[in-house]
Chain A
């Protein structure tokens, strides 16, 4: 069965960076795009970007360009999302989510990680 298991909760100080991991299993890791989506407390979903685990190519939301980096390690079927220069507005639950169709980033997201709470506080 498909599983996306994310790393645990983080507490960071303003200005720091955070790196969240997402380990995939139960499907061909390199065959499906992986997206990152965040949700601030009591707020809606916000798309951050995607990575093609096969090529390593990435696409980021304009809002996060220059501050976010998505990478992957195919040997352990894991993707990473690193966000730098954190502020209190980055306090949110961060999700990885897998594309529903192979080799296509634009379709829906059918499996989601359990979420990683990142708290930014001085």
Chain B
């Protein structure tokens, strides 16, 4: 069982906005601003989309944004495009003896 909880799937139509949630505890998401998000297409390595809750690496579209409220982080994708269809994973630094955890992943379908 993953330490961070994500919905198994979300969907949206091209041009719409969707939000993927990532729920943790006050030992991980709620304790640090070290939440990151990854996009993974089938058969490919993950790609960093957001780090430190809301920072975008160079080259990542500004259609991707991150936020956090309490122990829940969120990834919002605006202006949905076909190429956004992928699996998305959140991760967080934690206070536990295993200091880094991933969410279970969310499959995004663009209708």
Interface pair B36/A107, CB less than 8 Å apart? yes
Q: Which of B48, B98, B102 contacts A44 (CB 8 A)?
A: B102
Interface pair A47/B91, CB less than 8 Å apart? yes
Interface pair B102/A100, CB less than 8 Å apart? no
Q: Decide yes or no: A100 and B46 within 8 Å by CB, A45-B38, A106-B93, A109-B36 being known contacts.
A: no
Q: Decide yes or no: A114 and B48 within 8 Å by CB, A35-B100, A62-B98, A106-B99 being known contacts.
A: no
Q: Decide yes or no: A47 and B101 within 8 Å by CB, A107-B51, A112-B46 being known contacts.
A: yes
What chain A residues lie within 8 Å of B102 (beta carbons)?
37, 44-47
Interface pair A107/B52, CB less than 8 Å apart? yes
B residues apposed to A, CB below 8 Å: 2, 32, 34, 36, 38, 40, 45-48, 50-52, 57, 89, 91, 93, 96-105
